[in-house]
Amino acid sequence: MTAARPALLTAAAALALAAGHGGAQAPKDKGDPPLPNEAQVMQVKLKRAQAVLEALAKEDFKTLDESATSLLAISKAAAFLRAYKTEEYEFQARVFQKSAATLAAKAGEKSLDGATLAYLDMTRSCVACHAHFRGRKRD
Ligand code: HEC
């Protein structure tokens, strides 16, 4: 129980950070600690992922790096929000984090092709993880 607290605070911080750039809503609470829920985290992820696509199209490596780094932080933090985890979730979360890290590195090297490939890997993990959970919400 106590171990979860710093992780949740990190999640809130990562979300606030990401929302600051993307204009997503601040988490609204209904009680307890004002923490983002998973749907809110995902909305921010979507905004950041869209920003990555735009940055790729414009060859804007600075925004690419920032967006990928933000996605990585959000994903690491969000992993602790899950009440129910499966092996497949953990796997896809790792694929996601690895491709976000690669994306940031490739943006740093100004490698447009490398960044594009990492973006595709990341997008594949979005789709794969959602497909895994579809039809199996909240058990
Ligand atoms: C490791 C698993 C995983 C990965 C990777 C992942 N998601 Fe999700 N996503 C989920 C789960 C689980 C839900 C369902 C959350 C809920 O409704 O409680 C979800 C829901 C969503 C939603 C719907 C939120 C809503 O408003 O109901 C969006 C949008 C979304 N994800 C975007 C993304 C994008 C974009 C990416 C990739 C950049 C991504 N997700 C990567 C697990 C993942």
Question: Atom 28, ligand 1: which residue's CA is nearest?
Answer: 42
CA 61–ligand 1 middle distance (angstroms): 25
Q: How many CB atoms lie within 10 A of CB 19?
A: 21
pTM (predicted TM-score): 0.79
Can you tell me which atom of ligand 1 is nearest the CA of 43?
29
Can you tell me which atom of ligand 1 is nearest the CA of 82?
12
As for ligand 1, residues whose beta carbon falls within 6 Å of it are: 38-39, 42-43, 45-46, 49, 89, 92-93, 96, 122, 125-126, 129-130, 133
Q: DSSP assignment, residue 75? A: H
Q: Which two tokens stand for residue 97?
A: 């984090």
Confidence (pLDDT) at 86 = 84
Render pLDDT for 20-67 as a digit per residue (tens, 0 to 9).
443 334 444 445 555 677 888 889 999 999 999 999 999 999 999 999
106: part of which helix (H) or strand (E)? helix 87-108
- End-to-end Cα spacing for the chain: 21
Can you tell me which atom of ligand 1 is nearest the CA of 78?
1
Single-letter amino acid, residue 64: L
Asked if the model's pLDDT at residue 8 lies above 50, the reply is no
Confidence (pLDDT) at 77 = 84
Q: Give all domains of the chain, ordered by start, each with its CATH number.
A: 4-21+37-133 (1.20.120.10)
